[in-house]
A and B are shown apart, each in its own frame.
Chain A
């Protein structure tokens, strides 16, 4: 049986780690592996936001104004070693 090669990277491990959910209009802080110069943020479309990573690797990301239920995708690195974190946007509490 053919196996395509690289094993799957566990979500949010390796290059970028952070919370799994964020409130609408909020922001999150993610930790990025040393040596990474930038991360990208998108919601599945071609438009993406590139955010530089400061020394120390902690990046605060303002979440785009999207409806609750949308998943924000944060990636670091490139190619097949790209690390991917999915963050679910949830309704803010009462």
Chain B
């Protein structure tokens, strides 16, 4: 006859993870409050941050004022590109846009478009720009007369060393 050893130690009593109903209600309330605060903060950040990267350092642009007709249909078109069009459209039409900003160098709405392009350039997302457009982009900023530039154009010009580092 064979004798096996038997363990006679009683198992540890299980401590319930939610010992009381009061604790459960407290945890639920904390979760609810946290969600509300987090949601509100996220919404507030998202509502104020409509741009990304360096263009958010620009002083506020009044988009609706910039989209008002100027009497120059070419300028109106360029401003729509700068302010309202998807970035891909602005990039695809960058040769025309860069021609426009050379002519309207004092137009802060167009420089907003340049800042949008600069964000993409600094993020190295300019690979789909038309051939050599990135170089003309830099040349245009470099050649712009500081005395004629609006505040957002001037701040972009001061970022040239940073832009020049992008290959």
Contacts from A to B (Cβ < 8 Å): 1-6, 8-9, 11, 20, 42-46, 69-71, 73, 75, 79-80, 82, 84, 86, 88
Q: Are B92 and A1 in contact (CB under 8 A)?
A: no
Question: Please, could you name 19 A-B residue pairs with CB atoms under 8 Å apart, sorted by A?
Answer: A3-B86, A3-B89, A4-B77, A4-B80, A6-B77, A8-B95, A44-B136, A45-B143, A46-B102, A46-B105, A46-B143, A70-B139, A75-B99, A79-B73, A79-B74, A80-B74, A84-B99, A86-B133, A88-B132
B residues less than 8 Å from A82 (CB atoms): 96, 99
B residues less than 8 Å from A11 (CB atoms): 95, 130-131
Question: Is the contact region of chain B dominated by helix, strand, or loop, or is it mixed?
Answer: helix
At the interface, yes or no: B135 with Cβ under 8 Å from chain A?
Answer: yes
Q: Which of A1, A86, A88 contacts B95 (CB 8 A)?
A: A86
Q: Which of B102, B132, B143, B144 contacts A86 (CB 8 A)?
A: B132
A residues less than 8 Å from B136 (CB atoms): 44, 71, 73, 86
Supposing A4-B77, A44-B143, A46-B143 touch, asked if A84 and B96 sit within 8 A by C-beta, the answer is: yes
Q: Are B132 and A71 in contact (CB under 8 A)?
A: yes
B residues less than 8 Å from A8 (CB atoms): 92-93, 95-96, 130
Q: Smallest CB–CB gap between B79 and chain A, Å?
A: 10
Q: Are B96 and A86 in contact (CB under 8 A)?
A: no
Q: How far is the CA of A73 from the CA of B102 in the complex (A)?
A: 12
Q: Are B93 and A4 in contact (CB under 8 A)?
A: yes
At the interface, yes or no: B81 with Cβ under 8 Å from chain A?
Answer: yes
Contacts from B to A (Cβ < 8 Å): 73-74, 77, 80-81, 84-86, 89-90, 92-93, 95-96, 98-99, 102, 105, 130-133, 135-136, 139-140, 142-145
In the complex, the chain A residue whose C-beta lies closest to that of B81 is: A4
Q: Which of A20, A69, A79, A84 contacts B135 (CB 8 A)?
A: A69
Q: How far is the CA of A46 from the CA of B99 in the complex (A)?
A: 10
Supposing A4-B81, A6-B77 touch, asked if A43 and B139 sit within 8 A by C-beta, the answer is: yes
Q: Which of A1, A44, A79, A88 contacts B140 (CB 8 A)?
A: A44
Supposing A8-B92, A86-B131 touch, asked if A3 and B85 sit within 8 A by C-beta, the answer is: yes
